[in-house]
Amino acid sequence: MKQPIIIGIAGGTGSGKTTLARKLKEAFQEDVTILCHDYYYKCNDHLPFSQRVTLNYDHPNAFDTDLMVDDLKKLKQGIGIDHPIYDFIQHTRRPETVHVDPTPVIIVEGILIFENKALTDLIDIKVFVDTDADVRLIRRLLRDVKERGRDLDSVVNQYLATVKPMHEQFVEPSKRNVDIIIPEGGHNRVAIGMLLEQISSFLQQ
């Protein structure tokens, strides 16, 4: 198998990164693997739950990005990996992992993937999903309450304490490192069409 193409999709929380990644996956099915930066949150199981819930999960130091870089390098070399699984309710990693074999297209998705130079250097097409802050906040509220078992007050407090300031400090400036900025992510049909064309062209080579 030829060396895969790696597409990075970044943007603020709730921007539509995951929707965009899933639409690309749906178009090419088994030719595409999605690798989320969120899988690589540090374990922190040495801390009690009461401390884990107070950590800053929007700072680069919250991630084991070195492990993700190593895994991507293996996939580029045609070697399978076993990536971690993160439990967002318990705020720690699960004991099991997920095996991933190399595919022609690898999508890397996460808020801070372009903040880290070693990770950015591995990515061939760099995409930033740019969505209004109020829309992102509403989407995060709905996700964290419905899917992650959080209460409304804790989500709002976390957003004000860490999510918003970390977005301004790390996520927004990372736009300088990208090739394409897409307003509204998975709802931007023109941009999706361009990416689909790029991927199709690569697969036909």
> Over the chain (205 residues), what is each successive 10-residue block's mean pLDDT?
90 87 93 96 92 91 97 96 93 94 96 95 94 83 81 84 90 91 81 91 88
CA dist., res. 114 & res. 123, Å (int): 9
Q: How many residues are recorded in the chain?
A: 205
Closest CA to 174 of 127, 123, 106: 127
Q: How many helices (H) and strands (E) does the chain have?
A: 8, 7
Cβ burial of 170 (10 Å; 0-12, 13-18, 19+) is middle
SS3 163: helix
CATH placement of domain 5-204: 3.40.50.300
Residue type, 114: F
CA dist., res. 99 & res. 83, Å (int): 7
Q: pTM for this one?
A: 0.89
CA dist., res. 127 & res. 130, Å (int): 10
pLDDT score, position 66: 97
